[in-house]
Structure 1
């Protein structure tokens, strides 16, 4: 089912790129808002203590209620609370830092996709020892909510 959603989203974006659709015209401010939403998510991780429950609850607001994670292996995960609870457990013991580079932003109406890559480091909070470091490429699909905020709808990295 989730693979079908991915396919539909890819077709949707491909079709909208070929049409001259003034109703869904993209402005630079749309792209800037999406770019800012991605950067704010990773800046929040870099600048906050996500081992704190209240802070982590604020972090969860970057993700839509229908958030789907497409892991590099296995089936997509579609329960936001379960996905983010696993991240919370990781952040209880480890501090994450991200060096982010956005490569492409495309917006169509209330949907956008972003291609980017990052260098991620996790260090143990107590000892300062490096837990792991990885360079990843990612694609995120964001959706604008009823308040005009861009939120992660789908995230996939390699």
Structure 2
């Protein structure tokens, strides 16, 4: 079964989904952009759980994913994944970004998630080229085989990303 893929422009912290994905930094302690917005909207419970994870395993490595509850958010879970900082090493950065999607989807599946919402990982302050990031994101979710996940939503913060995702998804149909 292939999940339905949707694109919308909006606020990830307000999306109705079983899980939302946080473009976290390796400290898991909140930051700017999506990460800061999720921690602010979700409340202290998310930070407390992130601290527990850090105490147990240390920082989260780039491309890896961990899960917390969603605190005050409408989702059940927040899957925190650390995207790569763009450094012009396209091959390495692309592999790490692909791992963010793969590991987040595997974790979501293990939690029996039916709907999952992704931000545009690494395209903000990490400066990953938006078009390349969208191609990787779409490619990874389209090739992910799942019996559990029914819907994947790409939540774009800005019109530029929304346009890129819409265009690429239309080309893939």
Larger radius of gyration between Structure 1 and Structure 2: 1
Q: TM-score, normalised by structure 2?
A: 0.22
TM-score (norm: length of structure 1): 0.24
Q: Which has the higher contact order (CA 8 A, sep 6+)?
A: 2
In terms of fraction of residues, the more strand-rich structure is: 1
